Chains A and B, each alone.
Chain A
Amino acid sequence: MSTPGPERVPSTVKVGKTTGQGNPPSGKPGTGRPGGANRPTGKGKGKKGRKITPVKPGGNGGPIAIAVVVVLIAVGIIGWGVWASIKSDKEKETPWEDRAAAIAGIVNYREDPDKSLTARDHKTGPLTYKLNPPVGGEHNARWQNCMGDVYDAQIPTEHAVHSLEHGAVWVTYKPGLPADQVEALTSKVKGKSFSMLSPFPNQESNISLQAWGYQLKVDSADDPRIDEFIRALSLNASVEPGIPCSGGLTTTGTTPSLTGQ
């Protein structure tokens, strides 16, 4: 163990002298390492006489510097590759909240000071809501089936709010919306789990989209923000991850389930 230690010091010095692989640099002055080619001779001479001083600083310079540069370049290239591959992953992972926030006109009620808007208790019987349609709040123990179900009549709001909790996007429209508009909405919902469509009598806009804590009102079924809303929020907005949209009630009307059955 003790031997390598002392050896190391002088050996570094030696390297400085003989970059040219032990052969005196005179042979090929113009080869690969210009810096290394000339120095060793000079340094070597100087050192022969004086043993003490030049040990470290100057002698190490050439080859070590080159080697360090080579290592740095290699590490740099590798690091860049690794960084680039990580970065491309990051871009892919835009959180759904950010995608939702980027939709013009969307309202996020999740941080609203009025916590009743997103209250989660189960209550039996008819309930009243501050928003029409609501985006959350107390609701019935039963949920409305939201497996891409298209309801052609009003559904109990108390059930629909429960579906939002499961991650459904609830698309509602003002009764009397032209048939082609309803048809366009139907094609966006039908067969798509975690969504449902129904008319909603008391809403202001022609079309309104609800997810748990989020709402977007639009005038036309052709509005591209409808697809953006569904893509960003359907399932993602669930506050009970893992629960399905199946197993719900499919009855229409305004009376919520009284029995929990």
Chain B
Amino acid sequence: MPAESVEDGDIAADHPRERRGYTVLTHALVALVTLAVGLAVGFLATRPSHPGDDSAEAGFLRDMATHHGQAVDMGMIAYANATLPEVRSLGLDIGLTQHGQVNIMQTWLREWGLNPNGSRPPMAWMPDGEESLQDGLMPGMATQEQMEELRRADGKQVDILFLTLMRQHHLGGIHMAQEIVEISDDDDVKWLAQTMVETQQSEMNVLADLLKQAQAA
């Protein structure tokens, strides 16, 4: 085979084969380069590009994890101590939902290789956010004294306090979630924040209705 082929080649030497040979090689090289470029572009484009340590998304996840944490605290107190069955069940609902979401948010930070604890003050991710802090607490957060009052309350006072504090808490949470939906372009973060906005907005009505009931009871 080798000898023959060499001869073949040589005979055909000067035209068609030659071109074809050149073309084959060119194609091979073009294919190689294209493959390399394609792999690289594919790698860079499809690998997740995560928001960084100072991003609004990271700030939101950290702050909302803390904010949610207090709602879990409130919700479980209501679940244990409230008088109206609807309030107990709402406490459980809010507590479980927000506890689950805390862990979603912590997991994202971990996947992004980010510390759950930021180096910037709370709310710094939000334009003018630091001005919304009240005595160091994020919007809607209850003070330690209010939480203690809720813990020590009994009877329908638990219901009233819980519903009142949770309305405030939701208002603050909705505000923060709306802001990140506005300024972020991360699909996951926007999705979760949007569900927070919708859930908590609809719960505002439930909270108001139950508060009337509790006060009337």
- Residues of A whose CB lies within 8 Å of any CB of B are 6-15, 17-18, 22, 47-48, 51-52, 55, 63-64, 67, 70-71, 74-75, 78-79, 81-82, 85, 89, 92-93, 96, 99, 145, 147-150, 187, 190-193, 230-232, 234-236, 242, 244-247, 250
Contact (Cβ within 8 A) B43 A82:
yes
Interface of B is mostly: helix
Q: Which residues of B contact A145 (CB under 8 A)?
A: 73
Interface of A is mostly: helix
Contact (Cβ within 8 A) A6 B8:
yes
Q: Which residues of B contact A48 (CB under 8 A)?
A: 10
Most buried by B among A78, A190, A232: A78
Q: Which residues of B contact A52 (CB under 8 A)?
A: 3, 6
25 A-B contacts, Cβ less than 8 Å apart?
A7-B17, A7-B20, A9-B6, A10-B6, A11-B18, A14-B13, A22-B19, A47-B10, A55-B2, A67-B29, A71-B36, A75-B33, A78-B37, A78-B40, A81-B44, A92-B53, A145-B73, A147-B69, A147-B70, A191-B137, A191-B141, A232-B115, A235-B106, A242-B106, A247-B73
Q: Which residues of A contact B17 (CB under 8 A)?
A: 7, 10-11, 14
Knowing that A51-B10, A92-B52, A193-B66 are A-B contacts, what are 6 other residue pairs whose CB atoms are under 8 Å apart, sorted by A's residue number? Answer: A10-B17, A22-B18, A79-B40, A191-B66, A232-B117, A235-B106
Q: Which residues of A contact B9 (CB under 8 A)?
A: 7, 9-11, 13-14
Question: Is B32 positioned at the interface, with any CB of A under 8 Å from its CB?
Answer: yes
Interface flags, B79-123, vs A, CB<8A=1, else 0 = 000000000000000000001001100100000011111010010
Q: Per a CB cutoff under 8 Å, which of A71, A190, A246 touches B33?
A: A71
Contact (Cβ within 8 A) B73 A15:
no
Chain B interface bracket (under 10, 10 to 19, 20 to 34, 35 or more):
35 or more
Contact (Cβ within 8 A) A9 B2:
yes
Question: Is B1 positioned at the interface, with any CB of A under 8 Å from its CB?
Answer: yes
Considering the complex, give the chain B residue whose CB is closest to the CB of A64: B25
**How many angstroms from the CA of A149 to the CA of B122 in the assembled complex?**
16
**Shortest 7 CB-CB contacts between residues of A and residues of B:** A10-B9, A11-B21, A246-B73, A14-B18, A93-B113, A78-B40, A6-B5
**How many angstroms from the CA of A252 to the CA of B57 in the assembled complex?**
37
- Residues of B whose CB lies within 8 Å of any CB of A are 1-10, 12-13, 15, 17-22, 24-25, 29, 32-33, 36-37, 39-40, 43-44, 52-53, 65-66, 69-70, 72-73, 76, 99, 102-103, 106, 113-117, 119, 122, 136-138, 141, 144, 147-148, 151
